A and B are shown apart, each in its own frame.
Chain A
Amino acid sequence: MKHTLVARVQDEPGVLNRVSSLFRRRSFNIDSLTVGGSETKDFSRMTIVVDTARTPARLVEENLRKLIPIAEVRDVTDMPTVDRDLALIRVRCDASARAEVTQLAEIFRGKIVDVAVDSVIVEVTGDSGKVDGLVDLLRPRGILEMVRTGKVAMVRGTASVAAAS
C-alpha cells in the first residue's frame, strides 16, 4: 500500500540527504519525494509517498521524526487532502493528430504547451490517478519523454501540518 507523509523541515543544507540516507539505510521504499518552499522562510515542506509493503508507515514516520531538522511529520493517507502531481509529456504527434491530442488533453484539463513538427508537449496537473489516466491514453501514440514532479499534498480544512508547533 502507498502512504503519503507530509513533513515540515528546517531549510538547511543536507536535509534532503538525511531523509534519503534514512530511506536507503533502512530499505524504506520511496515512490516519490518532493521538496519545496513553505509559508515560513526557514522551513520547507516535503511530500513523501512510501510503499509500505515492507515497513509499516508508522515506523517510517517515527524514523523521520528522529531526524533533528524535521519539525513535524504527518501521515495524511486517511485524511481528506488535495493532492497534485504535475507532468510534462512529449508525445509523438504530427499535424494531423494535433486536434485529437489537444482534445484528449482537455478532457484531463491538460494543455499543449509546446508544438514541434512531429511532437507536442502536454502539461497536466491533477491527482496521480488523473495524470496516470492521461499517460495511459497517450502511450499508444508514443511518449518520447516524460517528467513528473511527484505528488504534493495538503490537508483540506483547518487541520494543517502547521508551523504552530
Chain B
Amino acid sequence: MILTGAQILWESLMKEGVDLVFGYPGGCILPAYDAMLDYPVRHVLVRHEQGAAHMADGYARASGKVGVAVATSGPGATNLTTGIANAMLDSIPTVFITGQVPSHLLGSDAFQETDVTGITLPITKHNCIVRTPDELARAMKEAFAIARGGRPGPVLVDICKDALQKKAEFVWPDSVSLPGLRAFEAPSPKDLERAADLIGQAERPLILAGHGVIKSGAMQALQQFAERTHTPVALTLLGLGGFPASHPLSLGMMGMHGEAYVNQAIQQADLLLAFGMRFDDRVTGNLKTYAPHAKKVHVEIDRSEIGKNVAVDVGIAADLRTTIEALNAIVPEYRHNAWLKTIGAGQQETRGRDIIHQPDSGNLYAAHVIHDLWQATEGNAIVVTDVGQHQMWEAQYYPHERPRSLITSGGLGTMGFALPAAIGAKMARPDAEVWVVAGDGGFQMTQCELATLQQEQLDIKIAVVNNGYLGMVRQWQEFFYDKRYAATPMLSPDFVKLAEAYGIDGKRVTKRAEVIPTVQAARTSGAATLIDFRVVKEEAVYPMVPAGANLDAMIRRPVTEEVQA
C-alpha cells in the first residue's frame, strides 16, 4: 500500500491500538493533522503543549497503556519538554510525535527549527528523527516497543515535514529487534535462595514497596508475600495504592514526609526488601546513616538502579511480580509479632500528634479538607495531585486501596501537572470519579487547560487548596531560612469566577463544616466543579526529614499549639 508519511503515521498508531492523542497543531506537523481526519482517532486540543504531555502521562498512569502526544516543531516541541522529563523520571510509557522542518532545511536554522532530538536526548528513554517516509513505520513500531519495554519511559519521534508529505510503501514490521531492548530476565534460583535465606534470618523485616509494584501488577503477589512472611509494608509516594492502606500490615508512606514510625522502622529494621523502588534521596535521607542494621534485598527491573544509591546484599534485576511469585513459592510462613508491636507503639504515638485527631478549632486545615474528601468519596476516587504541601497532605490523609488511584508527579515534582494529568486520567477511565487536588500556585501554571476540560465536556472535580502561598517553599523558608518569605506569598485570581469564566461551576469553602456538603454537591452535579478551599495559610507538613538529614531526625508537629486550639 503506497501512502503518504502522514497516513503511515496514523496507520501505525492504529496498529498500536491508539484511539486518543493529545496535541496542538502547527506548520511542520500540519500534514499529519490533515491526514488525521480520515482516521478513527479522538484528538484532544490542549491549550499549551506541556498540557498535552501531562495528559498523555496521566492517561498512561491511569490505564497502564501508552499515552501519545503530538506537537509541531520548534516552540511546540520545546513546550513538551517539561512533560517529557516528568514522564522520564517516573518511567511512564509515552510516545511523543513532533513535526520537524523539511529534511533539506535541517541544520539551517530554518523557521521554527530546533534540535529536538538533541534537546530531548537526556530526558527520553530513546528518540529518533525520521527524514523519509519509508523509515516511519519502523520508527513508530520501535517507539512503542521501547516505551513499554523493560523499565518504561518516554520516546520521541521527530518527523520531518517532507517525510509526512512524501509517499512510501506502508509495511508494518512483524517485530522489532533492537540491540539495547532486552527481554525480561527471570530471577536466578541462586538469588532467590539467597533472598529467602535472609528472609528466614530476619527478625525485623520491612518491605519498601515502590512504583514497580503497580507497573508490574504485583499487588496480589505482594499482599500474599507480606501476609505469608508477616512483614509490614512501607510505601514510596508513587507506590501508594500498590498495597491496600487499610491492610493491617500497611504502614503508609516513607521518607521526607513519611510518618515518624515508618522512618524509625526503616532505621531499626534488620532486613529491607526493596520492591520496585529506587532509593531516591527523598526516601533515604542521609545515605551514610540509612538503615544501618539492615541487610538489603533489592528487586528492580532496571539493573543500573541496583547498587546506585544503596549497597545491597542481594540484587535481583527482574520483573517484580515474577520475582515475588517465585519467592512466595519457596518461603515458609513466619511471624514477627514482637517487631509489629514495636512499630505499633510508634503508630500510637503518632496518632496523638496527628492534626486529624484534633478537634475543629474553627480553622480550615488542608489536612482536614483531604481527609473529608476521602470520606465523602469513600476512598474511591482517582486523585490527581499537583506538587507541594497539598500533595503531601493527600499522600498522608487520603488512604489509597487500589493501584492507579493516586496520580502524582514524583521524580520531577512538576507543578502544573495535576489538571492536565487529570484530563488524561479521566479519558482513560471515563467511569471513574476523578479529583484534582492542586495548590493555588501550581494550579495557575496550567489552568488554561480548564478550557480543554470544557471543550471535551469532562466531568472532573477540582479542589484548589488555597493557602495564599507557594506553601511548600514557604515551609522550607519557615524551617531553614528564618521565616524570610522571599517570593512565596502569592496573589491568585478569584478561582470561583475563573471557573465560571470557563463555564465550570465554582464553589468556595472556608469552614470545615462546609467541606463534605460541598464535595457531595459537586459529586452529584454531573458536571465539572472547582472548589476553592481557603485553608490556613501558614501550616506545615509534618513530620519532615530535612533534605540530607538522617531519616529519623524528623521535625515533628509541635504538640502544644494544636491541643490548645
Contact = CB atoms under 8 A, between A and B. Distances in A.
Interface of A: 8-10, 14, 17-18, 21, 25, 56, 58-59, 62-63, 65-72
A15 to B, nearest CB: 10
Interface string B263-306: 00000000000000000000000000000000000000011101
Given A21-B122, A25-B122, A66 B307 contact: no
A68 B121 contact: no
Nearest to A68: B180
B212 to A, nearest CB: 16
B178 A68 contact: yes
A150 to B, nearest CB: 23
14 contacts: A17-B118, A25-B122, A58-B307, A59-B308, A62-B303, A66-B125, A66-B180, A66-B302, A66-B304, A67-B180, A68-B179, A68-B180, A71-B179, A71-B180
Nearest to A22: B122
A124 B271 CA distance: 55
Interface of B: 117-118, 121-122, 125-126, 146, 178-182, 302-304, 306-308
B394 to A, nearest CB: 31
Nearest to B306: A62
A65 B125 CA distance: 12
> Main SS of the interface on chain B?
loop
B181 A59 contact: no
A21 B308 CA distance: 19
> Main SS of the interface on chain A?
mixed
Contacts of B126: 68
Contact of A70 (B121, B122, B180): B180
A63 B151 CA distance: 13
A163 to B, nearest CB: 11
A59 B533 CA distance: 47
A57 to B, nearest CB: 11
Contacts of B118: 17
Contacts of B121: 17-18, 21
Contacts of B180: 65-71
Contacts of A70: 179-180
Contact of A68 (B117, B181, B308): B181
Nearest to B305: A62
A56 B307 contact: yes
A77 B126 CA distance: 29
Contacts of A62: 303-304, 306
A72 B307 CA distance: 21
> Of A62, A63, A68, which is in contact with the most chain B CB atoms at under 10 Å from its CB?
A68
B330 to A, nearest CB: 27
B303 A65 contact: yes
A17 to B, nearest CB: 7
A117 to B, nearest CB: 43
Nearest to B304: A62
Can you list the 8 inter-chain pairs with the closest CB atoms, starting with the nearest?
A71-B179, A62-B304, A68-B180, A62-B303, A68-B126, A63-B304, A70-B180, A25-B122
A8 B179 CA distance: 10
Contacts of A10: 179
> Of B118, B121, B181, B304, which is in contact with the most chain A CB atoms at under 10 Å from its CB?
B304
A10 B179 CA distance: 8
> Of B126, B180, B302, B306, which is in contact with the most chain A CB atoms at under 10 Å from its CB?
B180
A59 B302 contact: no
A70 B306 CA distance: 20
B128 to A, nearest CB: 8
Nearest to A60: B304
A140 to B, nearest CB: 44
Nearest to A71: B179
B117 A14 contact: yes
